[in-house]
Amino acid sequence: MENELKIYYGEHHSQFGILRVPENSDSCPVIVLIHGGFWQARYNLEENNPIAADLTKRGFATWNIEYRRVGEDREGWTSTFNDVIDAINHLSKISETYPIDLSKVTVIGHSAGGHLALWLGSRIRLSAIDGLFNELLVTVQKVISLAGVTDLVKMWEIHEQKKMKSHVAALLDGSPEEVSDRYKMTSPIELLPINVEQVLIHGESDLHVPADLSKDYYKFAVEKWENVKLVILPDIEHFKIIDPTSSAWTSVVESI
């Protein structure tokens, strides 16, 4: 059994998370879950409910977070990024009431959530030196990117080649040519080294976010002497990686 609570970390209707805590736990490690959906408002944290329930049964507290997305009223392009920081910081407040161990925080993000998870890892090093984003006050021990968007410029190029609307440009309010600084500040591959343990898990059959994005990021991270691991899963597509009944989920659990 578990306790499941909706907790707001801000005043906007999307500034909340679902906390699940195992019953009869004295103090348990925390897994923060960041959902995907190319940062668009039509996708929400319900995508992560099955894996949140699975992880809580395994003895982890889970903090499945929502955030302001493209299509909602955002206070500028930084809103999505600051929401993720504020949601993590809110764990300090939650720890006053619930038995969670803030010395053991892992962030798992899927797809666009993988992008935000890796970006969040970079804030441990960068928070003190730039004032554009809120300061990250809770230390993250590990980041696990599941089919994550590791390179925003490459993702923008992929959508351009497919003649699709660019979800990356919608997130950052511009193309790489128009707002190049924003891409440099928010694209994980541009922010290496981030000096946080990282695990990249990607399905070889992913048609939404090609596995090459994780492979290229891994190669560059290794060159920067990062503590990084890459797991490529043959015959696994984009959503199987967050299906707790699939073989892919075993690799995720093992990486934790």
pLDDT digits (tens, 9 = 90+) for 10-41: 999 999 999 999 987 788 999 999 999 999 99
Helix (H, G, I), strand (E, B) or coil at 11: coil
3-state class percentages of the chain: helix first, strand second, coil last, to nearest 5: 35, 25, 40
Q: List, as one string, the DSSP characters of 142-154.
A: EEEEES----HHH
| pLDDT for position 26 | 80
In angstroms, the CA 37 to CA 48 distance is 11
Whole-angstrom Cα distance, residue 41 to residue 128? 30
Q: Give the chain's mean pLDDT.
A: 92
Structural domains present in the chain: 2-255 (3.40.50.1820)
- What tokens does 190 get? 């541009």
Is residue 128 over pLDDT 90?
no
Across 58-65, average pLDDT: 96
Structure confidence at residue 131 (pLDDT):
73
For residue 147 the two structure tokens come to 């089919």
- The model carries a pTM of 0.96
DSSP H or E stretch at residue 33: strand 28-34
* 3-state SS assignment for residue 62: strand
Predicted confidence band of residue 1 (pLDDT cuts 50, 70, 90): very low
